[in-house]
């Protein structure tokens, strides 16, 4: 019986490392599966975030363009409102101002 027990124990000892290797290999496969899954989800998130940021960028570019157009219109309106002929016409109409004649101008010497 002693010889049988020795051979039986020797067989069990030789099977245990193989079973352990299988368990470790399965564990590594599970870890690798979740790592690939996590990588896939992070790639999807990154692509979605990139898309959203690009849409936001395009919207801001359109706003920038429209603000430049509006600013150009305001500059044009300002130049039209501050034209010398308009100011002179408003001064004559609303303030009853007039250009002095040559007899009304007096020269002061120092």
Quote the CA–CA distance of 42 and 53 in Å, as a whole number: 16
**What does the mean pLDDT of the chain come to?**
83
Under 8 Å between Cβ of 97 and 91: yes
Given this model, what pLDDT does residue 22 score? 64
pLDDT of residue 51: 97
pLDDT at 99: 81
Asked if residue 80 lies in contact with residue 86, where contact means CB atoms within 8 angstroms, the answer is: yes
The fraction of the chain above a pLDDT of 70, given in percent, is: 79
pLDDT at 46: 97
**Interatomic CA distance for residues 98 and 104, integer angstroms:** 11
């Amino acid at each position: 019986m002693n010889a049988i027990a020795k051979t039986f124990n020797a067989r069990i000892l030789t099977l245990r490392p193989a079973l352990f290797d299988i368990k470790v290999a399965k564990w590594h496969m599970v870890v690798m599966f979740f790592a690939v899954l996590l990588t896939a989800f992070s790639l999807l998130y990154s692509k979605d975030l990139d898309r959203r940021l690009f849409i936001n960028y395009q919207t801001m570019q359109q706003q920038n363009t429209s603000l430049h157009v509006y600013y150009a219109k305001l500059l044009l309106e300002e130049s039209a409102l501050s034209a010398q002929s308009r100011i002179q016409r408003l001064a004559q109409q609303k303030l009853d101002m007039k250009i002095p004649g040559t007899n009304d101008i007096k020269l002061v010497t120092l």
